[in-house]
Amino acid sequence: MSEWAAKRFWTDARVTEEDAGYGVALDSRAVKTPAKAPLVVPTPALAAAIAAEWDAIEEKIDPRKMPMTRSANAAIDKVAHQHAEVADMIAAYGETDLLCYRATSPQELVLRQAEEWDPLLDWADSALNARLRIAEGIMPHVQDPDVVQRLRSAVRGQGVFQLTALHDLVSLSGSLIIGLAVQHGARPAAELWEISRLDEAWQAELWGADEEAEDAAAIKRSAFLHAQEFYCLASEK
């Protein structure tokens, strides 16, 4: 049977200890992923968060209200089977990182980018031995191959659940450095999200906020903060 049935059929959701980690049982039935793999996660904290989502269901199962379950499913059904491909896709952001492309004008924006983004590049240099080069404008520029390789190694070395979180952190922010900074706890995740939105915030100050764009940004912010929480729960941080 599928645990993604339309309606609740269980009375209790609880964490179980498994050989490979921690699972969730609905009464006596183990939760499985959409691909029918055992839903087993690396930490009891993450399993407890998933169990809480299942326990909160009153009648119909709505995956949109179960973000921890969805992320765990993605880790098990997708990332686990394409780890190298996903890692390389994420690492490629380091070659065109958001933080490296700077405006040439107006001066206030130039200074704001330097103030907010330079410290993160400095952090990457000291924490990851990865000093990325800054360029003006939007034309692509080549990064030091050794730096790119060190960043790639930092990504490839991550476990399935950590890599799943990093995928969302990086794709939502447009910056590998920001994603890694979240994982390392270099700055609060909410603060790093705002830093990634510096250019959009500048445009809103100049021309006024667009309601539709603001709504879309709010959804992305929520997903970004969820990815940080998923990472912490999967890493017991």
- 209 pLDDT more than 90: no
- 56 pLDDT more than 80: yes
Q: Considering the entire predicted model, what is its pTM? A: 0.93
For residue 3, what pLDDT is reported?
Answer: 47
The β-bridge relationship of strands 13-18 and 21-26 is antiparallel
The CA-CA-CA angle for residues 70, 75, 80, to 5°, reads: 155
- 52 pLDDT more than 90: yes
Domain 81-235, CATH number (from 1.10.3580.10, 1.10.630.10, 3.30.930.10, 1.20.1250.20): 1.10.3580.10
Domain 13-60+67-77, CATH number (from 3.50.50.60, 1.10.357.10, 3.30.2180.10, 3.40.640.10): 3.30.2180.10
Establish whether domains 13-60+67-77 and 81-235 are of one fold.
no
Name the residue with higher pLDDT: 63 or 222: 222
Asked if 124 and 147 touch (Cβ cutoff 8 Å), the reply is no
> If you compute the radius of gyration of the chain from its CA atoms, what whole number of angstroms results?
20
The string of DSSP letters for 146-210 reads: HHHHHHHHHHHTS-HHHHHHHHHHHHHHT-HHHHHHHHHTSS-HHHHHHHHTHHHHHHHHHH---
The structural domains of the chain, with segments of one domain joined by +, span: 13-60+67-77, 81-235
- 70 pLDDT more than 90: yes
Say which residues have a Cβ less than 8 Å from residue 46's Cβ, sequence separation at least 6: 22, 68, 72, 161, 230, 233, 234
Rounded to an integer, the average pLDDT of 56-60 is 87
Half-sphere exposure of 41 (CA within 13 A, CB side): 36
Rounded to an integer, the average pLDDT of 95-115 is 95
Query: Per-residue pLDDT tens for 3-34?
Result: 445 678 888 999 999 999 999 999 989 999 99
Q: Please list, residue by residue across 3-23, b when 16 or more beta carbons sit within 10 angstroms of its beta carbon and e when fewer do.
A: beeeeeebeebebbeeeebbb
Q: Is the dihedral of CA 183, 187, 193, 195 positive or negative?
A: negative
Q: What percentage of residues in the chain have a pLDDT greater than 90? A: 83
Asked if 164 and 203 touch (Cβ cutoff 8 Å), the reply is no
Can you tell me the distance from the alpha carbon of 209 to that of 205, in angstroms, rounded to the nearest whole number? 7
Instruction: Give the pLDDT band (50/70/90) at residue 1.
Output: very low
Strand, coil or helix: what is 38?
strand
The number of beta carbons lying within 10 Å of the beta carbon of residue 147 is 19
Name the residue with higher pLDDT: 213 or 177: 177
Side chain identity at residue 17, one-letter code? E
For residue 44, what pLDDT is reported?
Answer: 97
For residue 124, what pLDDT is reported?
Answer: 98
Query: Per-residue pLDDT tens for 118-155?
Result: 999 999 999 999 999 999 877 778 999 999 999 999 99
For residue 237, what pLDDT is reported?
Answer: 58
